[in-house]
Amino acid sequence: MATRGAEGAESYDSASQRHAARHESFLRYRGLFWAKLASVVALLAVVSYLLVDVEPRHNGGSWYGYALGTIGALLILWLTLLGVRKRAMTPGRWSLKAWTSAHVYLGISLIFIATLHTGFQLGWNVHTLAWALMLLVILSGLFGITVYGFLPRYLSDNRDETTEEQMLATVGELDRQLREAAQPLDTRHAAIVQRALDEEVAWASVRRRLFGTRFLGTSADSLAEIRRETLLLRAPDPHLDRVEALLARKVAALQRIRSHMRVRALLEAWLYVHVPMTFATIAALSAHIVSVFFYW
Amino acid sequence: MSETYRIAIVGSGPAGLSAASRAAQLGLAHVLLEKADHLSDTIYKYQKGKHVMATPSQLVLRSDLDFAAGKREKVLGTWDEQTGGNKVNVRLNSEVVSIEGEQGAFRIALKDGATIETETIVLAIGTQGNPNLVRCPVGEGAVVQYTLDDPQEYVDEHITVIGAGDAGIENALGLAADPEQRNMVTIINRSADFATAKAANVQALTAAQDAGRMIILTETTASAIEAGEIVFDTRDGEARARCDRVIARMGSAPPRAFVEACGVEFSGPDRTAFPRLSPTFESSKPGIYVIGALAGYPLIKHCMNQGHDVVEFIKGNTALKPADEPILEGKFKGLPGRLSVAEWLEALRSSVTILEPMTPLQMREFMLDSEAHFYRAGATIFDRNEPGDSLFAIARGSVLVQVDPDDPAKTVPIETGSIFGEVGLISGRRRGATVIACEDAICVEIPRMAALKLQSQVPPAKAEITRISIERQLLQMFGSGLSREDVAPIVETAEIVPVKAGDTIIEEGQEGYDIFVIRVGSMVVEKTIGRKPVFLSYLPAGTYVGEMAVLEGGRRTATVRAAVKSEVIRIDGAAFKALLEKNPALLARAHREMETRQDLNDYVEAKKDSFSGAVDMYSSIASFLVEGGIGEATDVLLIDENLCVGCDNCEKACADSHDGLSRLDREAGRTYAHLHVPTSCRHCEHPHCMADCPPNAIHRGVDGEVFIDETCIGCGNCQRNCPYGVIRMEKKPPRKPPLLSWLLFGFGPGPGEPSHDWIDKRVSPDTPKVAVKCDMCAGIEGGPACVRACPTGAAIRVAPEQFLSVARLEEGTI
């Protein structure tokens, strides 16, 4: 294209900085660098497991088992540190995207490292508990990556340039207008509107929060009732028509904010398994390590 | 009134009050005329409890009145008390209608019919001017007011606001904000749209109307105001409405006409021009002195010092050195040679061409804003690609411009008296070349604001800067090997054309032979394919366009239109062609560049069938970003909403990197095709926020970031001027407990910006609010925290010309 007086300056001096600033997701970060590294680690673990001859059979107590166990335990602690890294905004040439990328792929490689560490000697004990909890953490993490893959788009589409605050304000504003519009109505109709006004934005039941539809809720019921009433009228009632229009808008506004909260909840829900289970894993892991050394 | 005063001071703001106090202390016969029924009307009209700041802090206060930063009430209280204590002869409710006569015998006519006779006059009337009055008849008992101090004072009233500019809209919204006040607010606007108001205000207004809280009448004027009733002249005829109070906000007439009628000349026809003054503040009309904001000094301390000084000057104390003397001494300390401040000012003025037409007073003011540097031979003044928008003038010695980035030996000299760095000043982009001192040199570095002021005050300086900048821009663009003589014929034909946003300079399919150099702003190139405009490329300032028709002949192959308000240099194609024919190397280069463009055209043409979806997508995203004002951005935060999980870690990181206040609002802002432009500073080429900052606290930093320094006085001008709403006025919260004590024990509010309640509980109510905006994390290792802290890679920062390039289309990364 046309000549420039000053070419775009190269202000990022290191390769990692360039990657951090690049438009690529954490999964594809640096040309799948961490995916490749994690694959090599997992592959090495599998190959060495097959090549190393431990007598009488592979177990956590051999030198090889200890090596894998130490790597696995340190890896778990390091993976946990993502929670600190995310919140500690220290200066420096790090990027959380790089950390997330490494967290995801090295976390997956842990399946191989830890499972091979067990030597497939599983049972009903604290050792297997630590392994199982760890798998639970990893599986919840995989679920997290999956929802991160497609839910953000829904969030963006549903939002349609409005913010959560604006969505809430819209509902409040419609309530105010509904209250005003309901003034000229008779008691029976006013009671229908009142039921819609009494409805909370957030549903109390978690099940409804995650799986409710737009046809649920007292506002939707009130709208249906008012619609029935207007159909029965001989002459159109402008007051009822206005209330009907407002109710329809409220139902739509509720639908939007509830969808918004639902998608956000789904994006976060897995963390309520992932994080507590991480601490449970660390607790079980500590018990595992202490007991192993105690009974040496 | 037979007494003749020695001094009459018009206006009782900080400048006038200080002058009157000095006159009273010196025992001069004086009178202080104030049109309102109280002193210091401008500050009086500040909102209640507003914190008044005292910048610049290094300036010593020299006045018989005290002044320290504090609440409006305290500042006014001190002044009222001390004005009384100093036995100042104040005459309130005394609006000056006209001034006649000559030095020694002026006659000031007041609105109440009285005449004041005085030997000298000090004009300290500020720049607020008088509000435009309602033109319709106002009946007995009708309430019409021109200001609104506290909207919460009015309850249960029918109020009509006349004028739908920002002031009127803000008043109307304030009155209708609280439904508990039960006000019925009507706002009327003469035209059909709200052209002069900010978009955010208009939006809020229409929202208030939709909510039934306000009545908006457009194409309506008031035809009569009576007690309890107002008559409107609407498009559909006359209408009457109940009205207990009219608030008229129809702008104000600047005081220039009045000042000129007194015989005072201004430095130029510009709206921003100030009266021409001597070093003793005397105007072109002997005996009339001008001080304060009207003289071009908007800060309170300056005003008060001038009030003191001007009375000393009038009394004959010409040896008095201005209070800013020590500041200037400090600026000249590092220069070789032992000259006094006055001598240095004179030396700089006489040796630099563009400074020559200035008065000593202007020169003084100018140097307060500028810096003088001494460079040893060989020292680098600035580097290529360094951000910077200041202008340099050479007062002694000469400099060398390294025109070829690959070969530092290729240089062009610039001699004493000339300027350099003007490209950065005009385009707001990075420096185009490295400049080093050729011999020991003294240069004046003129910051952007000072340079703009200089150009508006001194028209010959503007003409000279324009000529040099066109010449240099051409030399730089067309490369080395050309001399000033070569481009002289082109410079002669060149013409600067302002282009409004959206206007086209080149129309596809039209005949045209001119070349356009983009001087300010940016352009987009589009081609119509299948009756749809397809975005071809983005041209930032410093590029040229239109050479294809000159080289190849034929019609224009694409449309070029302004992305933002821009300025182009139009060059005659024939003169350009003559230049090319004389310089085969340049011709070859121009051909190469044109081929690249042609390749791009062909590529898009070819793609339109196979990949029309991708081309469409690219084109519409580019148009969306350009519409969103990215055309004036230098660095903008974008969020890919395919990846954004809404964790707000970007906001938290921003707050934790900057005093606990986030400078970005992730959720707010426009979105297109999942590409989101959050409410965050885009570091405009010509920042709107800089336009009207009284303490000059907004600068462009070393990495191109636009930032606000600690001299911010919290006036809120930048917040109002920013069209993107990215500046907040906030109190700085205290430090939070460290992260680990929150993680482990739950102390403090945790990462991110604390809630307002948390801050309010810990910050004293007197703490002033200051303007807060993105500084691109300047000085923080690792760069912008928002991008570093994004866990999924959704947040990216881009320069528009990198993002809007077809290369991305080929890579398939959009």
Mean pLDDT across A237-242? 87
Q: What confidence tens digit (pLDDT) does each residue in B733-760 have? A: 888 888 888 888 888 888 889 888 888 8
In the structure encoding, which two tokens stand for residue B518, read together? 């983009």
Note whether A5 contacts B542, CB cutoff 8 Å.
yes
β-pairing, B522-529 vs B559-562, is antiparallel
Residues paired with residue B158 on neighbouring β-strands, in sequence order: B184
Q: Is the pLDDT of residue A140 over 90?
A: yes
What pTM did the predictor assign? 0.71
Q: For residue A45, what pLDDT band results from cuts at 50, 70 and 90? A: very high
- Nearest CB to B671: which of A23, A156, A180? A156
What is the pLDDT averaged over residues B510-531?
84
Alpha carbon separation from B699 to B390, B447, B661, B790 (Å, rounded): 10, 9, 20, 28
DSSP string across A185-236: S-HHHHHHHHHHHT--SS-S-HHHHHH--TT-SHHHHHHHHHHHHHHH-SS-
What's the pLDDT at A12? 36
The total number of residues shown for chain A amounts to 296
CA distance A278 to chain B (A): 15
Q: Is B653 on the interface with A (CB under 8 A)?
A: yes
Say what the pLDDT of residue A14 is. Answer: 44
pLDDT score for A69: 94
Which residue is it, tokens 């500050």? B43
- Determine, for residues B781 and A92 on separate chains, whether the beta-carbon distance falls below 8 Å: yes
Q: Which of B605, B460, B463 is nearest to B527 (CA)?
A: B605
Per the DSSP assignment, residues forming a β-bridge with B640 are B675
B302-356, pLDDT tens digit by residue?
Answer: 899 999 999 999 999 888 888 888 888 888 988 888 888 889 999 999 999 889 8
| pLDDT of A13 | 41
A103-112, A259-268, A276-285, B529-538: the lowest-pLDDT one: B529-538
Strands of B471-565, DSSP E: 495-499, 504-506, 515-520, 522-529, 532-540, 544-545, 559-562
Cis preceding linkage at B56, omega within 30: yes
CB-based contact, B627 to chain A, within 8 Å: no
Cβ within 8 Å, pair A23-B793 = yes
User: From A85, which residue of chain B is nearest by alpha-carbon distance?
Assistant: B789
* Chain A partners within 8 Å of B431 (Cβ): 6
* pLDDT 10s digits, B156-178: 889 999 988 877 888 888 888 88
Cβ distance of A6 and B792 shorter than 8 Å: no
CB nearest to B788's CB, from A95, A151, A153: A95
Asked whether the predicted pLDDT for residue B222 surpasses 50, the reply is yes
> Which amino acid would we find at residue A247?
L
The pLDDT of residue A274 is 96
The pLDDT-based confidence of B432 (bands split at 50, 70, 90) is confident
B1 has pLDDT over 80: no
Output the pLDDT for position B326.
Answer: 84
B423 near A CB under 8 A: yes
Confidence category of residue A296, pLDDT binned at 50, 70, 90: low
Instruction: Evaluate if residue B249 carries a pLDDT over 60.
Output: yes
Residue B701: its pLDDT value, please?
77
Contact A156/B644 with Cβ under 8 angstroms? Answer: yes
Mean pLDDT of A46-54: 91
pLDDT tens digits, one per residue of B371-409 = 999 999 999 999 887 777 789 999 999 999 887 778 888
How high is the pLDDT of residue B149? 75
Task: Report, as an integer, the average pLDDT of A236-243.
Answer: 87
d(CA A90, nearest CA chain B) in Å: 8
B435: contact with A, CB 8 A cutoff: no
In Å, how far is B534's CA from the nearest CA of chain A?
A: 16
- Torsion A117-A120-A121-A123 (CA) sign: positive
**By the CB < 8 Å criterion, does B800 face chain A?**
no
CA distance A221 to A192: 9
pLDDT over 60 (residue B808): no
Q: What is the pLDDT of residue B311?
A: 94
Strand pairing category for B441-446 and B371-375: antiparallel
Question: Which residues of chain B does A5 touch, with a Cβ-Cβ cutoff of 8 Å?
Answer: 423, 427, 429, 432, 473, 476-477, 542-543
Tokens of B310: 């001007």
Mean pLDDT of A78-85: 94
Among chain A residues, the shortest Cα distance to B597 is held by A1
How many angstroms separate the CA of residue B674 from the nearest CA in chain A? Answer: 6
For residue B597, which of B527, B502, B518, B509 has the smallest C-alpha distance?
Answer: B527
- Which residues 6+ apart lie within 8 Å of B437 measured at CB? B375, B376, B377, B378, B379, B381, B397, B398, B399, B400
Q: pLDDT class for B428, splitting at 50, 70, 90? A: low
Q: Which residues of A touch B548 (CB under 8 A)?
A: none
**pLDDT beyond 80 at B484:** no
- The pLDDT value recorded for residue B549 is 81
Q: Which residue has the tokens 């009494």?
A: A198
- Per residue in B178-201, pLDDT tens? 878 888 899 998 877 776 676 667
Residue B809 has pLDDT above 70, yes or no: no
pLDDT confidence bin for B611, thresholds 50/70/90: low
Q: Name the strands in the sheet holding B419-420, side by side, starting at the edge strand that comes first in the sequence.
A: B371-375, B441-446, B391-396, B419-420
Across the interface, whether the CB atoms of A23 and B212 are under 8 A apart is answered: no
Instruction: Work out the mean pLDDT of chain A and round it to a whole number.
Output: 86
Give strand pairing partners of B402. Answer: B411, B434
Q: What is the rounded average pLDDT for all residues in chain B?
A: 85
Beta bridge partners of B102: B105
Distance CA B740, CA B61 (A): 47
> What pLDDT is recorded for position B805?
65
Helix (H) / strand (E) element for B9: namely: strand B4-10
pLDDT of residue A148: 94
Residue position matching structure tokens 């410079």 = B491
Q: Can you read off the two tokens belonging to residue B380?
A: 């680098």
CB of B793 within 8 Å of a chain A CB? The answer is yes
pLDDT given for residue B47 in this prediction: 67
* Cβ-defined contact of B212 to A29 (cutoff 8 Å): no
Mean pLDDT, residues B593-620 taken together = 73
Chains A and B form CB pairs within 8 A to the count of 156
> Do the chains contact at B544 and A2, CB–CB below 8 Å?
yes
Q: Which of A13-22, B145-154, B686-695, B786-795 bottoms out in mean pLDDT, i.e. has the lowest?
A: A13-22
What is the per-residue pLDDT for B7? 95
| Nearest CB partner across the interface for B429, out of A6, A24, A86 | A6
Task: Give the pLDDT score at A10.
Answer: 35
CB–CB contact B743 A84 (8 Å) = yes
B47: β partners: none
Share of chain A above pLDDT 90, in %: 52
Q: Do B641 and A8 touch (CB under 8 A)?
A: no
A56 upstream amide cis, omega within 30 of 0: yes
| Contact call for A25 and B793, based on CB within 8 A | yes
| A-chain residues near B648 (CB < 8 A) | none
Pairing of strands B229-234, B115-123: unpaired
Contact B746/A at CB under 8 A: no
The residue of chain B nearest to residue A147, with distances taken between CA atoms, is: B645
Lowest mean pLDDT among A76-85, B8-17, B21-30, B585-594: B585-594
B 493-532 residues inside an 8 A Cβ radius of A = none
- Position B443 confidence tier, pLDDT thresholds 50, 70, 90: very high
Residue A3 has a pLDDT of 32
Q: What is the pLDDT of residue A152?
A: 93
The pLDDT of residue A6: 32
pLDDT in tens, A243-270: 999 999 999 999 999 999 989 988 998 9
Q: Say which residue, B149 or B126, is predicted with more confidence.
A: B126
* Residues 6+ positions from B167 with CB-CB distance below 8 Å: B249, B251
The reply to whether residue B543 touches residue A3, judged by beta carbons under 8 angstroms, is yes
Structural tokens at position B56: 């610049």
Residue of B543, B671, B796 with shortest CB distance to A4: B543
Share above pLDDT 90 across residues of chain B, in percent, rounded to a whole number:
25
| A21 min Cα distance to partner chain B (Å) | 6
Alpha helices, DSSP H, located in B542-648:
547-552, 573-582, 584-610, 612-627
Q: What is the pLDDT of residue A248?
A: 92
